[in-house]
Structure 1
Amino acid sequence: MPLKLVRRRESPNWILQGSVRGLKVRESTKTSDRDAAEMIRIVREQRLLQESIFGKKVSVTFQEAADAYLHSGGSPRYLSTLTEAFGSKLLREINQRDIDALAFKLYEGALPETRNRQCYTPFIAVWNNAIKNDWADLRKWQRPRKPKGTARRRTSSRSGNRPVEYDRAAVFVSNMSPAPAMVMTALFYTGMRPIELFTLEAADVNVDKRWIVVCSSKTGEARGVPMHEFLVPLFASLKARRDKYRQLFRTYRGRPYTLFEGRGGQLKGSISGARERLARAMDPINDISPYTARHSVSTQLVVNGVHQHIKDQILGHAADDMSRLYTNVPRESLLQTINTLPVPDLWRSLDWWKDPLLASRTHVKWGGS
């Protein structure tokens, strides 16, 4: 039967009830105005008719696709600007020109890498999730590229762009407060991106199988990460924490690290503190930051003779979908490979290993030792 407007005693709002070509509906219009409810009924009935004939591909909006992506565990990072621009627009009506125009409008003058990270990557993640729901067709979106030619490549003096030896990293981490030191330790022995570690939840970690699931990576896809055996006591201790927060790694105050839109800085104070202490000890180390760990893992695996394909799976760089198949299934080759990363004695001897969870509340001020 066609959709009808009905009312119930317990609510002043009109309710849509009925079915269209076998698609049953019983939902509130969220309005008590009869004329407004009738317009909603007409639009809803027309949409159901289209869906019954052509499927949901003809009627799903970007907002609905984004909501479904978030519900499946996708990252909300940078997504709000996209939903503001494309929210009510049908997925099937969005084309390459639309996403290109939006990227230039939102990030005018920005580098291609920035537009890619903050616009194209979240958009494509939403689109790929819609494909899984059969709401959109498979489509190859063109991402912005670096300009070719004789233009000089910009160089950066920021730390974190180069790998360091693990002995040097151990000295630096030993001069940090326990909580940020644990973050840096996990980064140096997983190769994860800092944002992935900051959003990691206890449910994403299987200590017994030494396996970590990154639910939403930079590519928008989930991936599995092997855990170095050195990290087992750390993750086992942090998973034992029971409170209102879901994030596994916290500040010394016991709160999740703040995720800043479009920039880092979560460990800026801790990094500066360690540099200050080392400078006073006449042993300056200024070339280490959170992202140094990822470069160091990548370089060390190459030095260890690890096959490129295995290294790419660990770091989430694989160009094909091979690594996606092992999101929840530990692979022995990956577990063996991650264990080839060296562990200096200094790193093993840090006091907080005795009880990481208890030590994580300890804070060393800049002038402390």
Structure 2
Amino acid sequence: MPLEIYRRKGGKVWHYRGTVAGRRLRGSTRTEDKARAQRIAAEAEQRAWTRHLDGPGATLRFSDAAIAYRGAGRSDRFLAKVEDHWRDTLVRDITDGAIRTAAMRLYPKATNATRNRQMIAPTQAVINYAAEQGWCSWLKVKRFKVEKKIREPVTLAWIDAFTAEASPKLGALAVFMFATGARLGEALALTWGDVDLSGRSARIRQTKVGAERLAHLQPRLVAALGNIPSNRHPGDRVFGYDDRHNLRKVWNTAVKRAGIKPLTPHCCRHGFATTMLHAGVDVKTVADMGGWADVATLVKNYAHAMTDRTITNVIFGTELTQEPAAKAVND
């Protein structure tokens, strides 16, 4: 039967119910105006017929796809602003060009990398999740061109110099990221309940890939964490920094006092990967230990060639004759 509108007992808002194309429909019009409610019910009925005759993609709205995407437990990183932009736009109307235009409009002063990460990636993720369910077609979006930046890793010598000038908790943060490969957000979210000093382990919640990993705490890292002045309640954050801006100020101050290269906290994660790879640890193990879901990403971004040309001596089992460039602090 066609959709009819009604009010619940004691209520003022109109609802609709009925069967369209064999599907039972119920919903709220979210209005107390009867004429408007009738129009909303008619539109819902029309969408149901369109879906029945032309397939689910004909009426699929981005808002509905995003709700399903979230409900499936997929990453919602940067999704809120994307949802606010697309709202009830039909997925079939969201094209490659429309997404790129939206990225430039929402982030006019941002880098292309930011546009790719915060607009294109989440929009495409929602739509392609819907495609997995058979609700619409798959979508390919051309990314904005991003100039490849050379990421410089910290070294153990850099860490030594930094911790000598940093507070116990700031120094421990640097050592933790260098020793475990943790991302900055993961390190700042670490609580004392995640840390087992006696068992030499820490549970790291990998926000970017939506998983967890158990990291080994080496003796130096155990000592660094143990030196942090804290009551160590399970719910308290280990490093105590809630604001990246405040962290950046004290971090840069310690760097300046130490007289070392102004490397960022993320360079500690880079240093973990580079140091492990140069030590001969296989790529798959490094990816697992550092929380990289994709080995190819690790190789592309972190597996830089060693500058020591005498590295080829290993073919015959002989030692290097040059000082590895990775040991330099101020070069």
Instruction: Tell me if both proteins adopt one fold, taking TM over 0.5 as the criterion.
Output: yes
Partner of 1:227: 215
CA distance in 2, matches of 1:125, 1:180: 36
1:281-300 correspondence to structure 2 within 5 Å? 283-300=258-275
The residue that corresponds to 1:302 in the other structure is 277
CA–CA distance in structure 2, aligned partners of residues 54 and 199 of structure 1: 47
Kindly tell me: are residues 169 and 45 of structure 1, through their superposed partners in 2, closer, same or farther at Cα, counting changes over 3 Å?
Answer: same
Change in Cα spacing, 1:107 to 1:26, as seen in structure 2 (3 Å) is closer
Question: Unpaired runs of 5+ in structure 1?
Answer: 148-152, 156-160, 259-263, 322-369
Return the letter of the residue paired with 1:214.
Q
Compare CA radii of gyration and give the structure with the larger one. 2
What residue is the counterpart of 1:351 in the other structure? none
1:33-48 map, 5 Å: 33-48=33-48
Aligned to 1:269: 249
Provide closer, same or farther for how the CA distance between residues 122 and 232 of structure 1 changes in structure 2, counting only shifts above 3 A.
farther
Q: What do residues 43-89 of structure 1 show as CA deviations (whole Å, max 9, x unaligned)?
A: 11222334445554332222333344445352343x44433432221
Shift in Å, 1:12:
0.6
Q: Which residue of 1 aligns with 2:115?
A: 115
Residue pairs, 1:125-136, within 5 angstroms: 125-136=125-136
Give the C-alpha shift of residue 239 in structure 1.
9.2
Structure 1 residue aligned with 2:206: 214
* Overall identity of the aligned pairs, in %: 26
Q: What do you get for the CA RMSD once the two structures are aligned?
A: 3.9
CA distances 1:8-31 after superposition (whole Å, capped 9, x unpaired): 223111112233344333332211
Aligned CA distance change for structure 1 residues 106 and 164 (closer, same or farther; 3 Å): same
Gaps of 5+ in 2: 298-331
Change (3 A) 1:15 1:201: farther
Deviation string for 1:255-283 (max 9, x for gaps)? xx24xxxxx6351122134236xx3xxx4
Higher relative contact order (CA 8 A, sep 6+): 1
How far residue 42 of structure 1 moved from its aligned partner, in angstroms, is 0.9
SS of the residue corresponding to residue 15 of structure 1 reads: strand
The aligned residue for residue 87 of structure 1 is 87
TM-score by length of 2: 0.69
- Does 2:118 correspond to 1:142? no
- How far apart in 1 are the matches of 2:62 and 2:210? 21
**Displacement, 1:315?**
4.7
Q: Is the 8 A contact 1:223 1:316 kept in 2?
A: no
Q: Secondary structure at the match of 1:268?
A: helix
- Using the TM superposition, give the Cα deviation of residue 37 of structure 1 relative to its aligned residue in structure 2, in angstroms: 0.6
Residues 295-349 of structure 1: CA distance to partner in whole angstroms, max 9, x if unpaired?
101111211212234434535262679xxxxxxxxxxxxxxxxxxxxxxxxxxxx
